[in-house]
Amino acid sequence: MRQAGTYSGILSGGISGKTGPHLLPLARIKKIMKKSGEDVKMISGESPIVFSKACELFIKELTQRSWMVTMQGKRRTLNKEDVASAVMATDLFDFLVNLVSESGEATTPLEMDTSNYS
Amino acid sequence: MVDEEERLLQIANVGRIMKQILPARAKVSKEAKQTMQECATEFISFVTGEASDKCRKENRKTVNGDDICWALGALGFDDYADAIVRYLHKYRELERDKATLNKASCSRTSRDKDEEEEHSSEEKSDHQPHQQTQAPTPSART
């Protein structure tokens, strides 16, 4: 049985007391890390926690930039093309260029569909 | 609600973070969330790859928080690196405090101690298997 006290807010849920709860499940982060390469063998306990924060920052930045594109188009729904545009416009997100051009193609959707029927 | 594949971060969590930064009236298409899911997952792989390269070159087996901070800086995510260094510092302080408290509780009844350690190790992180992670004594690692 936990004892309530000075530290209970800080200790429960990791560092939720001061820095906010983790927004991303740590087990999944760890899985993704392990899959990233053959070399990744052991991961310290703090690594998924660090990534939880880093991903939060990343998602927020990309979302903000995408939203700016949405607003430029005078729309209120952020769509995947807005995300693709934000990626293209940001050098830092160069590593995502292939990813968004695969999924966020602006060309004829029909081309994509026919490949499924071949 | 099942995730598309277990290789990606959960869409609900990603969506929640997106909402945090957007104005209340903003809407996000499902496809945009999916794209963001993939981008965030790729981000983890990308940074982990860099961090793990460094560990390999230095003949270390375990990727730790410092390696991730370094990798963020090396890949151009300087702002994130600064924020994460502070975050990590705070986390380690709290872990040290927790370890101290656990030690103190050893002098209490063993039953109380077992419950608390079990509880605190569960609460330390949502799902953190202890298979490969090391014991929570950050001071011992460096």
Domains of chain A: 26-30+44-102 (1.10.20.10)
Q: Output the furthest CA–CA distance in chain B (Å, rounded).
A: 55
- The owner of tokens 């990798």 is B71
In whole angstroms, give the CA distance from residue A26 to residue A48: 5
pLDDT at B122: 40
pLDDT at B111: 57
Whether B33 contacts B4, CB under 8 Å: no
Q: Which of A18, A28, A92 sits opposite B90 (nearest CB)?
A: A18
φ, ψ of residue A42 in degrees (nearest 5): -120, 145
CA dihedral B115, B65, A21, A13 (to 10 degrees): 0
Whether A17 contacts A9, CB under 8 Å: yes
Give the closest residue to A26 by CA, choosing from B99, B133, B35, B31: B133
* Cross-chain Cβ contact A32/B83 below 8 Å: no
Whether B55 contacts B61, CB under 8 Å: yes
Give the domain CATH number at B93.
1.10.20.10
Token digits of residue A61? 């930045």
In a domain, B2, yes or no: no
DSSP 3-state of A82:
helix
* Cross-chain Cβ contact B92/A78 below 8 Å: no
Whether A48 contacts A33, CB under 8 Å: yes
A22 touches chain B (CB under 8 A): yes
Confirm whether the ipTM is greater than 0.90. no
* Cross-chain Cβ contact B29/A55 below 8 Å: no
Question: By percentage, how much of chain A surpasses pLDDT 70?
Answer: 69
Low-confidence ranges of chain B (pLDDT < 70): 1-4, 107-142
φ, ψ of residue B67 in degrees (nearest 5): -65, -40
pLDDT at B78: 96
Helix axes B30-57, B65-74, angle to 10 degrees: 110
In a domain, B113, yes or no: no
A14 touches chain B (CB under 8 A): yes
In whole angstroms, give the CA distance from residue A83 to residue B7: 20
pLDDT at B38: 96
In whole angstroms, give the CA distance from residue B18 to residue B41: 15
Q: Nearest residue on chain B to A91, judged by CA atoms? A: B76
In a domain, B130, yes or no: no
Give the closest residue to B18 by CA, choosing from A24, A21, A89, A93: A24
pLDDT at B114: 53
pLDDT at B102: 87
Q: Which residues of B touch A47 (CB under 8 A)?
A: 63-65, 67-68
In a domain, B29, yes or no: yes
* Pairwise pLDDT comparison (A4 vs A54), residue with the higher score: A54
pLDDT tens by residue, A51-84: 999 999 999 999 999 999 999 999 999 999 999 9
Q: Which of A3, A56, A99 sits opposite B17 (nearest CB)?
A: A56
In a domain, B47, yes or no: yes
Give the closest residue to B141 by CA, choosing from A103, A23, A43: A43
In a domain, B131, yes or no: no
The answer on pLDDT for A95 being more than 60 is yes
In a domain, B127, yes or no: no
pLDDT at A41: 86
Total of domains in chain B:
1
* Cross-chain Cβ contact A2/B39 below 8 Å: no
Q: What number of residues does chain B have?
A: 142
* Cross-chain Cβ contact A79/B29 below 8 Å: yes
* Closest Cα in chain B, distance from residue A118 (Å): 24
pTM recorded for the entire structure: 0.73
Disruptive mutation site among B1, B13, B122 for chain A (greatest number of A CBs within 10 Å): B13
Q: DSSP E strands: which ranges in chain B? A: 27-28, 62-63
In chain B, what are the helix, strand and coil shares in percent, each to the nearest 5?
A: 70, 5, 30
pLDDT at A102: 72
A8 touches chain B (CB under 8 A): no
In a domain, B140, yes or no: no
Mean of pLDDT over chain A: 79
Give the structural domain span for B94: 7-104
